[in-house]
Amino acid sequence: MKPQWTGALALAASAVAAVALAHNGAMGVVLERMNGMTAMRDTVAVLAPMMQGAVPYDAFAVSEGAGVIAGHAGETMLSLFPEGSLEGVTHARPEIWSDWQDFADLAKELKTYADAFAEAAPNGLEPAPQPRGGMAGMDHSAMAMAPEPEANRRFTVAELMGYGDKTPEIPVARGASNPAMLAVDLTTLAANDLFTRISATCSSCHSRFRAGRT
Amino acid sequence: MRPLRGLPWRGGAPLDTPFGTFVPPNITPHSVAGIGGWTIEDFAKAVRQGVSPEGEPYHPVFTYSFYAGFTDQDIADLWEAFRTVPPVAEKAPEHDVGFPFSFRSGLKLWRAAYLDAPDTDALMGTSSPWNRGRLLVEGAAHCAACHTGRTLGGGLDEAARLAGNDSLPGGSKAPSILAAELIGRGWTVASLTYALQSGLLPNGDAFGGSMAEVVAQGTSYLTDVDRAAIATYLLDPEGRGAIPTPTLPPTDTRMVAWIIRRWI
């Protein structure tokens, strides 16, 4: 066995041990979903500096990380929350099942954004350029100008006061509506825009359905 | 973050506190159900002093004590912004607060005991971001309202300012945001600035609880400069101009997990 594999396996063993310790008492689907959440959290931690431009952008790593998130989102996530699975150590709140549709919408929203994130990985930190030519006669209303990066956006008074929609080319932000109904092609967005939407979806879900943590 | 249910400013979700249940009122510009009949002077008195147009003190669940330092321009800007909101004719339900807390005149005693204007004046020898951060943290952002425990009388426990609060309305908790503890948990100006925009912690977790709402409905709308100012002040509240670099928390396994995925 190559030394690097030995090292990697040793790291894997210690990671498994760390997970087991961290989830002391969790078993079955509870443990499985905690492991999924941990995998997504670790992926987000690695990608976040890249999304801020603090470390060099790596499209392959972004695509791979997006795949990790997508793999734990949507129906996969929902299948790990059978009704009333609150036994042992869990951060799940019973509202998951009383408000199941909302929970399911968030899980699916996460999958939609993560899938788009994987496809948009080559875009980098800028929206995909508009294709040249061949656009005559098309309805451009859903393909408006590329949105401003989230951190630099200027908001209207209506947006700031909470009664106005976000800028028209971004009809959804912070989990505000069903992304499947979007007029904009998510895969044309900058990768960091999608990453922001993913983190907002996570926060939205945690605030409603996760107990005991801020 | 999903928008709060209902029309904006028509009255918010009830707050369960040890003193009773408080319902944020309708503050749309509706002339009867909201604040449409107010003057800008009424508005200024309500926001900066916590006194209604009828001269009654507001319950301190309205965090007016943090807004005492708002300038006339701040008030004018807020007033104009509120006047653009679509009016809603529906009045919010009344508070459900038992005696003696329903007795508003008694709040004058509370004000005498606890009401202090925040100290937000610029401090000689400190940086511009630091001063801006102090203005926001101690004032408009009212971080202490959640991150500081309360005394039996409902005032802020100044001896443990920003040291966390395990008894927020609704049963949630706010952790300590004292500089040493933030640094111990791995926060830097850059990561805290980013968290206030994105809701992400340095370990990749996403805020839940009330802080998710604070980011989604509040700090994500700030400029990056203001978010960095908040982070600068919180991590260096004494204004020394130097912030220690945190070491990675020992429980942080993200690099291990990432390395494993890349190798296996």
* Higher-pLDDT residue of A113, A179: A113
Fold entry, domain A19-209: Four Helix Bundle (Hemerythrin (Met), subunit A) (1.20.120)
Which candidate from A40, A52, A206 shows the least CB-CB separation from B212? A206
Q: Is B260 in contact with A15 (Cβ distance < 8 A)?
A: yes
- Give me the pLDDT at residue B10, please: 86
* CB < 8 Å to A8, chain B: 259-260, 263-264
Q: What is the mean pLDDT of chain A?
A: 78
Q: Is B2 in contact with A152 (Cβ distance < 8 A)?
A: no
- Give me the pLDDT at residue B260, please: 45
Q: Name residue B232's amino acid.
A: T
Confidence of residue A142 (pLDDT cuts 50, 70, 90): very low
Residue appearing with tokens 């028509």: B10
* CB < 8 Å to A195, chain B: 198
Instruction: Give yes or no for a contact between B88 and B7, defined as CB atoms under 8 angstroms apart.
Output: yes
As a whole number of angstroms, the distance between CA B219 and CA B263 comes to 38
Q: Is B220 in contact with A150 (Cβ distance < 8 A)?
A: yes
As a whole number of angstroms, the distance between CA A162 and CA A150 comes to 17
Helix axes A28-51, A3-22, angle to 10 degrees: 120
Q: What are the C-alpha distances in Å from B133 to residues B122, B123, B149?
A: 10, 12, 21
* CB < 8 Å to B190, chain A: 52, 54
Q: Taking 70 as the threshold, does the pLDDT of residue A156 lie above it?
A: yes
Q: Is A46 in contact with B254 (Cβ distance < 8 A)?
A: yes
- Give me the pLDDT at residue B248, please: 59
As a whole number of angstroms, the distance between CA B178 and CA B167 comes to 18
As a whole number of angstroms, the distance between CA B231 and CA A97 comes to 37
Q: Is B204 in contact with A45 (Cβ distance < 8 A)?
A: yes
Q: Taking 50 as the threshold, does the pLDDT of residue A20 lie above it?
A: no
A28: closest CA of chain B, how far (Å): 21
Q: Is A152 in contact with B172 (Cβ distance < 8 A)?
A: no
Low-confidence ranges of chain B (pLDDT < 50): 1-4, 250-253, 255-256, 258-260, 262-264
- Give me the pLDDT at residue B151, please: 83
- Give me the pLDDT at residue A152, please: 62
Interface test with A, best of B79, B198, B227, B262 (most A CBs within 10 A): B198
* CB < 8 Å to A38, chain B: 257
- Residue B161: how many CB atoms within 10 A of its CB? 16
Q: Name residue B207's amino acid.
A: F
Write the ipTM: 0.74
A144: closest CA of chain B, how far (Å): 22
As a whole number of angstroms, the distance between CA B133 and CA B120 comes to 9
Q: What is the pLDDT of residues B85-131, one digit of tens each?
A: 999 998 888 877 766 666 667 777 777 777 777 787 877 777 889 99
* Higher-pLDDT residue of B206, A162: B206
B121: closest CA of chain A, how far (Å): 26
Which candidate from B174, B199, B202 shows the least CB-CB separation from A203? B199
Rounded average pLDDT over A203-212 = 88
Q: What is the pLDDT of residues A40-84, one digit of tens each?
A: 999 999 999 999 888 999 999 999 999 999 999 999 999 999 998
Which candidate from A44, A163, A204 shows the least CB-CB separation from B212? A204
As a whole number of angstroms, the distance between CA A101 and CA A107 comes to 10
Q: Taking 70 as the threshold, does the pLDDT of residue A206 lie above it?
A: yes
Q: Taking 70 as the threshold, does the pLDDT of residue A165 lie above it?
A: no
- Give me the pLDDT at residue B244, please: 83
Residue of A nearest to B6 (CA): A163
Q: What is the pLDDT of residues A171-185, one digit of tens each?
A: 344 444 455 555 678
Q: SS3 letters for chain B?
A: CCCCCCCCCCCCCCEEECCEEECCCCCCCCCCCCCCCCCHHHHHHHHHHCECCCCCECCCCCCHHHHCCCCHHHHHHHHHHHHCCCCCCCCCCCCECCCCCCCHHHHHHHHHHHCCCCCCCCCCCCCHHHHHHHHHHHHHCCCHHHHECECCCCCECHHHCCCEECCCHHHCCECCCCHHHHHHCCCCHHHHHHHHHHCECCCCCECCHHHHHHHHHCHHHCCHHHHHHHHHHHHCCCCCCCCCCCCCCCCCCHHHHHHHHHHC
- Give me the pLDDT at residue B91, please: 85
Q: A5-19, A112-126, B60-74 — which is least confidently predicted?
A: A5-19
* Higher-pLDDT residue of B9, A134: B9
Tokens read off for A202: 């996570």
* CB < 8 Å to A160, chain B: 81, 221
Q: Is B172 in contact with A44 (Cβ distance < 8 A)?
A: no
Q: What are the C-alpha distances in Å from A26 to residues A37, B95, B254?
A: 13, 41, 20
Confidence of residue A149 (pLDDT cuts 50, 70, 90): low
